[in-house]
């Protein structure tokens, strides 16, 4: 084994060890509910075979969507704070803890190689990114923040706006579609001088480094995704209780269109060929959460930057989804 191979092997093993440690630590930030996994349904679906998706997908998409929830929480936080005290490590623990609980629900349907590969790929890169950010912001970032007396610079506000745009893009597209190089150019169009001079240039350094690295990384991920998978059609088939089919958009737009159908009196029978459970989450005050009738609590996670708030993750029977999404303030429906 040559030197480069040894270094790559050591890096991979270290990344795996850190990820497993964070998964275990995540139990402090992810509180599993009592719901056992469902046994697979043997009913023949009404949905055409080419438009069906695996029932385990609804659970295994949680890590992917947590990396939408996390930037949203970060965006709210940095509107009024610098990133110095943002709980990067706590979010990592929640990523892996949520994955562990969701995976237990998915195991009854067999090993979903594609989704596990995606979860571990994005998990490894997110682990590396958040560990670096936690270390940097807790040292260099804290010093520059103190020298600026806690005041936000143009660069801080630019970063906050970029985070908002990024989290919005994730509602409909993959992370590697974000134009990081354009953001790098925009960063350097900001005024060079201003209050908090040292903080301004420290932010320019770290943000430039991040945007340039992610620009190259996202290009490579885009190329890899195009080489490995056919582009997905962002539509899903919903069969209602009368046997009528509806074509709804996927991802974040799904819940809005599903809510419109529910309010018009439509009851769901199948989504992407699945009749059993679909995962739904909402935000609520801390404490015992509301569990709609026939639903099961999978887990809860505290919102680490908002005291006394939590994310509640449920498994909802598809036949009851029309009722549940009208009863609770849904944050996301995980549409397979």
Query: How confident is the prediction along the chain (336 residues), in pLDDT tens digits per residue?
Result: 555 445 544 555 555 566 556 555 555 689 999 999 999 988 899 999 999 999 999 999 999 999 999 999 999 999 889 999 999 999 999 999 999 999 999 999 999 998 999 899 899 889 999 999 999 999 999 999 999 988 899 999 999 999 999 989 988 888 899 999 999 999 999 998 888 899 999 999 999 999 999 999 999 888 887 776 666 668 999 999 999 999 999 999 999 999 999 999 999 999 999 999 999 999 999 999 999 999 999 999 999 999 899 999 999 999 999 999 999 999 999 999
Among residues 209, 228, 247, which one ends one of the domains?
228
Residue 69 pLDDT: 95
Task: Give CA separation, 77 vs 53, 234, 249, 293, in Å.
Answer: 36, 31, 30, 34
Backbone angles phi, psi at 295, to 5 degrees: -90, 165
Whether residues 258 and 175 fall in one domain: no
Q: Residue 184's domain spans which residues?
A: 3-228
CA distance 210 to 32: 34
Whether residues 220 and 288 fall in one domain: no
Residue 4 pLDDT: 47
Whether residues 286 and 156 fall in one domain: no
Among residues 228, 246, 280, which one ends one of the domains?
228
Residue 166 pLDDT: 93
Whether residues 218 and 264 fall in one domain: no
Among residues 228, 262, 277, which one ends one of the domains?
228
| pTM across the whole model | 0.87
Residue 8 pLDDT: 47
Number of structural domains, the chain?
Answer: 2
Secondary structure E strands in the chain? 31-32, 235-240, 245-249, 268-271, 277-285, 296-302, 309-317, 330-334
Whether residues 320 and 255 fall in one domain: yes
Whether residues 243 and 223 fall in one domain: no
Whether residues 161 and 285 fall in one domain: no
Whether residues 82 and 215 fall in one domain: yes
Whether residues 98 and 152 fall in one domain: yes
Whether residues 244 and 221 fall in one domain: no
The answer to whether residues 78 and 167 touch, using CB atoms and an 8 Å cutoff, is: no
Whether residues 307 and 215 fall in one domain: no
* CB hemisphere CA count around 117 (13 angstroms): 7
Whether residues 267 and 143 fall in one domain: no
Residue 239 pLDDT: 96
Task: Give CA separation, 22 vs 105, 130, 138, 193, in Å.
Answer: 20, 12, 19, 41
Residue 273 falls in which region: left (phi positive, over 0), alpha (psi -120 to 50) or beta: left
Task: Give CA separation, 11 vs 72, 179, 186, in Å.
Answer: 30, 28, 34
| Cα torsion angle, 132, 138, 140, 142, sign | positive
For residue 31, give both structure tokens. 């509180």
């Amino acid at each position: 084994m040559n030197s480069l191979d040894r270094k790559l092997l050591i890096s991979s093993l270290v990344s795996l060890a850190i990820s497993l440690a964070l998964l275990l630590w995540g139990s402090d930030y992810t509180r599993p509910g009592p719901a056992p996994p469902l046994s697979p349904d043997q009913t023949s679906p009404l949905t055409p075979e080419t438009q069906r998706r695996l029932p385990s997908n609804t659970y295994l998409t949680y890590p992917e969507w947590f990396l939408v929830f996390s930037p949203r929480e970060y965006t709210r936080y940095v509107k009024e704070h610098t990133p110095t005290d943002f709980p990067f490590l706590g979010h990592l623990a929640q990523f892996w803890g949520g994955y562990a609980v969701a995976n237990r629900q998915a195991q009854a349907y067999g090993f979903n190689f594609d989704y596990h590969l995606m979860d571990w790929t994005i998990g490894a890169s997110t682990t590396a990114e958040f560990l670096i950010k936690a270390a940097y912001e807790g040292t260099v970032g804290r010093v520059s923040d103190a020298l600026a007396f806690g005041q936000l610079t143009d660069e801080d506000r630019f970063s906050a706006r970029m985070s908002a745009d990024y989290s919005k893009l994730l509602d409909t597209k993959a992370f590697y579609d974000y134009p990081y190089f354009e953001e790098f150019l925009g960063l350097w169009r900001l005024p060079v001088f201003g209050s908090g001079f040292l903080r301004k240039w420290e932010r320019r350094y770290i943000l430039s480094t991040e945007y340039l690295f992610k620009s190259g990384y996202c290009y490579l991920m885009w190329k890899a995704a195009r080489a490995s998978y056919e582009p997905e059609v962002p539509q899903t088939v919903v069969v209602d209780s009368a046997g009528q089919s509806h074509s709804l958009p996927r991802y974040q737009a799904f819940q809005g269109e599903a809510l419109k159908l529910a309010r018009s009196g439509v009851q769901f029978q199948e989504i992407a060929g699945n009749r059993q459970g679909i995962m739904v989450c909402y935000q609520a005050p801390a404490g015992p959460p509301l569990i709609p009738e026939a639903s099961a609590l999978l887990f809860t996670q505290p919102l680490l930057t908002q005291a006394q708030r939590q994310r509640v993750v449920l498994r909802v029977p598809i036949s009851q989804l029309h009722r549940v999404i009208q009863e609770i303030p849904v944050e996301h429906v995980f549409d397979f």
